[in-house]
C-alpha cells in the first residue's frame, strides 16, 4: 500500500471514531452542552484537558523550536506546564464549587455586574479567536503536506468534522472525542521518539536518552551536541541567548496565561466534585507531561541527527560537508515542501550549514571558503520529518498526520465551545434576553457554535497578519485580564465591582498596546522589536506579567477607595472556599 493511501486510511479511521463518539454522546440539555452534565471522570477529564491544551503548535512546532533554541526553549516547557500548578491550587477547585457554566458568569456574579461580565466576554472572545485561527491553519497545513490537498480544502474538511461533533455534542461530545484524540496524538508523538532514542542512545525511553551516552561512544549526548553546534558557530545547546529577566517574564506570562485561558479553565467545571477538580488538574498535567518531557529529547536528538547528516566529516575540511548530490531521500521530500531550502552560495556542490550571524565565527568560515549559511531549515520539520529521518515504517508517518490533525481539532473544538457558550449563555441569556427558555438557549448555543466555526474557518483560510503572534497575544491577554480577576474574586472579599472592571481594562489595554507597538498588527510596528527598546528589557511575549501586576494594583487601589462588596457577594466567596458548607 502506498504511503498516500495508508495516510488516508489512518486519518479516515480516526475521523470515523470521532464521528461515532459524537453521535453516541449527543447533548440533550444546556448542562450537557456547556459542562458535559458535570459527569466526567477526573481521569477522562485529565485526558480531555491534555488534548484540549496541546495544540498544533505543541505537537508540530514545539520540539523544533526547542531544537533550535536549546536551553532558551525551556520557557515553553516550564511555562506551558507550570500553569497547571496555579490552576490546581488557585482556581480549579473554587470554580468547580461555584458550580455554574462559564468563566464570564463567575466574574459577573462575583463582581455583581453585567459590565464586568461583558468585559470578560470580550477578553474571552478575543483570546479564543486568535488562538483558534492558528489551529484551523494547522489543520489545513497538515492536510496539504500529508494528504496533498490544497490548504483551503483542508480547512473545510477540518471545519466539517469539528462542526459535526461540537454542534451536536457540545461539551459532552467534545470531551469524549478529546479523550480519543489524546490517545491518537500521544501515540503518534511517542512512537517515533522511542525509535530515535533507541538509535542514538540505545535507551528506549526518550526522557532518559536525553541524559544518556551515545550508542557507539562514551560521550554524553548533550555534551557531544554542545561540541557539534559550537564548532559551527552556534551557541552551545545547553546555554541560552535570552536575558535572565526575559526568560523569567516569558515563563511567568505563559504560566499565568495558561491558568487564565477560558477553554482550559472550563474543563474543570465538568467533573463531579471539588476534590475531583484538584485531582483532575494533576491527571491533566500527567498526560501533558508525557509529551512535554518527550519534546526536549526529540528536539536535541533531531538537532544531533541534522548536524551529523549535514556535517559528516571534520569542520573545515573539503570533504567535511555533505555533497548535495548525495542527500538522503527525506531531504528531497522536504525540499519539495519548501521547509528545507538549499542554495549553493560558494558553488562547491556541498551543503554548508553554520551560524553566519556570529561575527566571531565569520573569519573562520571565510578561511574554510564558506560564503554564508546555505541551508534554511524550518523548525516544524523536526517533528514532521522525524519518522523518515529515523527510517521508520510508513504507518508511523501516517500516524504523525493523524496526530497533528487530532491535536489541532481537539484544541479548536474546545475553543469554539467556550466562544459559543459565552455568546449564548453570557451575552444572550445573561445580559440581553434573560427570559429565554432552556430549549431556545440550547438552540442558540448550537447556532453560535456553527457561527464561530465559520469565522474560525475564514480566519484559517485567510489568516490576518498576526497569526504568528497569536501566542504572545492569547497568553499575554489571558494573564493580564482574566487570571487576576478570577484570582482576586476567590482570595479577596474586598475587591469590588469598580476595582475589578478598572483592573481588567488596565491590564487588557496595556498588554494589547505593548504587543501592538512592538509586533505591529494592523500596521508596521511603531518601535523596532529589539531588547534595547523594551520596557525593563521585557519582550512582548513576557509583557503579560506587567499587565497582570497593573491589573492587581489598579483593582486594589480602586477597591480601597470604594465600598465593600455587598454582603451576599461576600457570602458567596465564603461558600466557594469550602467544598461543603456545614452549620450556620
Partner 1 sequence: MPDNKGPDSRQAYWRANLRLVGLCLAIWFAVSYGCGILLVEPLNRIEFFGFKLGFWFAQQGSIFVFLLLIFFYAWRMNALDRAFGVEEQETTEKDIA
Residue 553 as a binder of partner 1 (CB under 8 A): the answer is no
What angle is formed at CA 205 by the lines to CA 202 and CA 207, rounded to 5 degrees?
Answer: 115
350: β partners: 323
CA 167 – CA 174 distance, rounded (Å): 9
Residues in contact with partner 1, shown as a per-residue x/- string from 28 to 67 under the rule CB under 8 A: ---x-----xxx--------------------------x-
Q: Which of 62, 88, 156, 474 binds partner 1 (CB under 8 A)?
A: 88
Handedness of CA 91, 93, 95, 101 (dihedral sign): positive
Contact 197, 205 (CB under 8 A): yes
Distance between CA atoms of residues 579 and 584, nearest Å: 15
Q: Which is nearer to partner 1, 77 or 482 (CB)?
A: 77
| Distances from the Cα of 189 to the Cα of 196, 384, 537, angstroms | 12, 10, 36
For residue 60, give the nearest of 168, 148, 172, 135 by alpha carbon: 135
- The DSSP code sequence of 417-481 is HHHHHIIIIIIIIIII-TT--HHHHHHHHHHHHHHHHHHHHHHHHS--GGGGGHHHHHHHHIIII
Among 78, 147, 362, 517, binds partner 1 (CB under 8 A): 78
Instruction: Decide: is 243 part of the binding site for partner 1 (CB under 8 A).
Output: no
Residue 481 buriedness (CB in 10 A; 0-12 / 13-18 / 19+)? buried
Task: Give whichever of 277 and 448 is closer to partner 1, judged by the CB atom.
Answer: 277
- Return the range that interacts with partner 1 (CB under 8 A); candidates 180-188, 355-363, 500-508, 570-578: 570-578
H or E element in which residue 341 lies: strand 340-342
> Among 72-80, 227-235, 460-468, 529-537, which window interacts with partner 1 (CB under 8 A)?
72-80
82 is a contact residue toward partner 1 (CB under 8 A): yes
Q: How far is the CB of 169 from partner 1 (least distance, A)?
A: 18
Nearest CB to partner 1, comparing residues 210 and 428: 210
- Min separation Cβ 387 and partner 1, Å: 23
Residue 572 sits in the site that holds partner 1 (CB under 8 A) = no
Per CB under 8 A, the list member of 222, 436, 447, 549 interacting with partner 1 is: 222
314 DSSP 8-state letter: -
Measured from the CB atom, is 77 or 107 closer to partner 1? 77
295-324 residues in contact with partner 1 (CB under 8 A) are 296
When asked if residue 238 is in the footprint of partner 1 (CB under 8 A), the reply is yes
Does 282 interact with partner 1 (rule: CB under 8 A)?
yes
Q: How many CB atoms lie within 10 A of CB 13?
A: 12
Using CB under 8 A as the binding rule, whether residue 574 contacts partner 1 is answered as yes
Long-range contacts, stretch 311-320, CB < 8 angstroms, 24+ apart: 311/228, 311/232, 311/353, 315/231, 315/232, 315/368, 316/364, 316/367, 316/368
Q: Does 484 bind partner 1 (CB under 8 A)?
A: no
CB neighbour list of residue 42: distance below 8 Å, 6 or more residues apart:
271, 276, 277, 279, 280, 283
Q: Is 205 in the site for partner 1 (CB under 8 A)?
A: no
Find all residues with CB under 8 Å of 262, minimum gap 6, and list them: 102, 103, 124, 127, 128, 418, 422, 478, 482
Instruction: Determine contact, residues 32/207, Cβ cutoff 8 Å.
Output: no
Which set of grid coordinates corresponds to residue 1? 500500500
Pick 74 or 358: Cβ nearer partner 1? 74
Measured distance CA(133)–CA(319) in Å, rounded: 46
Pick the closer one to partner 1 by CB: 251 or 373.
Answer: 251
CB of residue 296 vs partner 1: minimum separation in angstroms? 4
How far apart (Å, rounded) are the C-alpha atoms in residues 370 and 387? 31
Q: The cell 467545571 sits on which residue? A: 269
Smallest gap, in angstroms, from Cβ of residue 234 to partner 1? 16
By beta-carbon proximity to partner 1, the closer residue of 141 and 210 is 210
Stretch that binds partner 1, among 16-24, 471-479, 517-525, 572-580 (CB under 8 A): 572-580
286 touches partner 1 by CB under 8 A: yes
Q: Is 584 in the site for partner 1 (CB under 8 A)?
A: yes
Angstrom distance (rounded) from CA 397 to CA 377: 20
- Determine if 581 is a binding residue for partner 1 (CB under 8 A): yes
Between residues 210 and 472, which has the closer beta carbon with respect to partner 1? 210
Determine which helix (DSSP H) or strand (DSSP E) holds 377, and give its type and residue range: strand 375-377
CB of 266 to partner 1, least distance (A): 16
Task: Tell me how far apart the terminal alpha carbons of the chain are, to the nearest angstrom.
Answer: 71
State yes or no: residue 212 binds partner 1 (CB under 8 A).
yes
Instruction: Tell me the window of 3-11, 268-276, 469-477, 502-510 that interacts with partner 1 (CB under 8 A).
Output: 268-276
Sole window of 130-138, 164-172, 246-254, 422-430 interacting with partner 1 (rule: CB under 8 A): 246-254
Q: How many residues bind partner 1 (CB under 8 A)?
A: 58
Q: Does 274 bind partner 1 (CB under 8 A)?
A: yes
- Using CB under 8 A as the binding rule, whether residue 71 contacts partner 1 is answered as yes
CA dist 542 and 164 (Å) reads 37
User: Which residues in the 91-150 window bind partner 1 by CB under 8 A?
Assistant: 93, 99
The region of 102-110, 188-196, 288-296, 376-384 touching partner 1 under the rule CB under 8 A is 288-296
**Binding stretches for partner 1 (CB under 8 A):** 31, 37-39, 66, 71, 73-74, 77-78, 81-82, 84-85, 88-90, 93, 99, 207, 210-213, 220-223, 238-239, 244, 247-248, 251-252, 272-275, 278-279, 281-282, 285-286, 289, 292-293, 296, 574, 577-584
Amino acid at each position: 500500500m502506498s504511503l498516500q493511501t495508508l495516510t488516508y486510511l489512518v486519518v479516515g479511521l480516526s475521523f470515523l471514531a470521532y464521528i461515532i463518539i459524537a453521535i453516541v454522546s449527543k447533548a440533550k440539555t444546556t448542562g450537557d452542552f456547556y459542562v458535559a452534565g458535570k459527569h466526567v471522570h477526573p481521569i477522562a477529564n485529565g485526558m480531555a484537558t491534555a488534548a484540549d491544551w496541546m495544540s498544533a503548535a505543541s505537537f508540530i512546532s514545539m520540539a523544533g523550536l526547542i531544537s533550535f533554541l536549546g536551553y532558551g526553549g525551556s520557557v515553553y516547557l516550564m511555562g506551558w506546564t507550570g500553569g497547571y500548578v496555579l490552576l490546581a491550587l488557585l482556581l480549579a477547585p473554587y470554580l468547580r464549587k461555584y458550580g455554574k457554566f462559564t468563566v464570564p458568569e463567575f466574574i459577573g456574579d462575583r463582581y455583581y455586574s453585567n459590565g464586568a461580565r461583558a468585559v470578560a466576554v470580550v477578553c474571552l472572545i478575543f483570546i479564543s479567536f486568535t488562538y483558534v485561527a492558528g489551529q484551523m491553519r494547522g489543520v489545513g497545513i497538515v492536510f496539504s503536506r500529508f494528504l496533498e490537498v490544497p490548504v483551503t480544502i483542508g480547512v473545510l474538511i477540518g471545519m466539517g468534522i469539528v462542526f459535526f461533533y461540537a454542534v451536536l455534542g457540545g461539551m459532552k461530545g467534545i470531551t469524549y472525542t478529546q479523550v480519543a484524540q489524546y490517545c491518537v496524538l500521544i501515540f503518534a508523538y511517542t512512537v517515533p521518539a522511542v525509535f530515535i532514542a533507541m538509535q542514538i542512545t540505545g535507551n528506549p525511553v526518550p526522557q532518559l536518552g536525553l541524559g544518556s551516552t551515545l550508542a557507539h561512544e562514551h560521550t554524553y549526548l548533550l555534551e557531544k551536541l554542545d561540541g557539534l553546534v559550537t564548532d559551527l558557530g552556534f551557541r552551545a545547546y545547553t546555554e541560552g541567548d535570552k536575558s535572565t529577566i526575559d526568560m523569567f517574564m516569558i515563563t511567568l506570562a505563559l504560566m499565568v496565561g495558561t491558568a487564565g485561558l477560558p477553554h482550559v479553565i472550563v474543563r474543570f467545571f465538568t467533573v463531579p466534585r471539588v476534590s475531583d477538580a484538584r485531582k483532575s488538574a494533576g491527571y491533566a498535567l500527567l498526560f501533558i507531561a508525557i509529551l512535554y518531557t518527550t519534546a526536549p529529547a526529540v528536539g536535541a536528538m533531531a538537532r544531533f541527527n541534522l548536524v551529523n547528516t549535514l556535517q559528516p566529516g571534520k569542520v573545515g575540511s573539503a570533504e567535511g560537508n555533505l555533497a548535495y548530490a548525495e542527500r538522503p531521500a527525506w531531504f528531497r521530500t522536504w525540499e519539495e515542501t519548501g521547509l528545507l531550502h538549499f542554495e549553493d552560495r560558494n558553488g562547491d556542490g556541498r551543503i554548508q550549514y553554520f551560524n553566519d550571524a556570529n561575527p566571531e565565527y565569520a573569519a573562520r568560515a571565510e578561511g574554510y571558503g564558506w560564503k554564508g549559511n546555505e541551508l534554511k531549515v524550518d523548525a516544524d520539520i523536526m517533528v514532521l520529518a522525524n519518522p523518515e529521518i529515523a527510517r521508520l515504517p510508513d504507518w508511523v508517518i501516517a500516524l504523525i498526520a493523524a496526530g497533528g490533525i487530532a491535536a489541532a481539532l481537539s484544541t479548536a473544538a474546545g475553543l469554539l465551545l467556550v466562544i459559543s457558550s459565552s455568546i449564548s449563555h453570557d451575552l444572550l441569556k445573561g445580559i440581553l434576553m434573560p427570559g429565554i427558555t432552556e430549549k431556545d438557549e440550547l438552540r442558540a448555543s448550537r447556532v453560535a457554535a456553527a457561527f464561530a466555526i465559520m469565522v474560525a474557518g475564514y480566519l484559517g483560510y485567510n489568516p490576518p497578519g498576526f497569526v504568528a503572534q497569536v501566542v504572545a497575544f492569547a497568553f499575554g491577554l489571558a494573564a493580564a485580564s482574566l487570571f487576576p480577576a478570577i484570582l482576586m474574586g476567590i482570595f479577596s472579599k474586598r475587591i469590588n465591582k469598580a476595582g475589578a472592571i478598572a483592573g481588567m481594562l488596565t491590564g487588557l489595554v496595556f498588554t494589547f498596546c505593548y504587543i501592538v507597538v512592538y509586533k505591529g498588527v494592523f500596521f508596521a510596528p511603531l518601535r523596532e522589536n529589539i531588547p534595547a527598546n523594551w520596557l525593563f528589557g521585557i519582550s512582548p511575549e513576557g509583557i503579560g506579567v506587567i499587565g497582570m501586576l497593573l491589573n492587581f494594583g489598579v483593582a486594589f487601589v480602586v477597591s480601597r477607595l470604594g465600598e465593600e462588596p455587598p454582603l451576599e457577594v461576600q457570602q458567596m466567596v465564603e461558600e466557594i472556599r469550602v467544598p461543603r458548607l456545614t452549620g450556620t
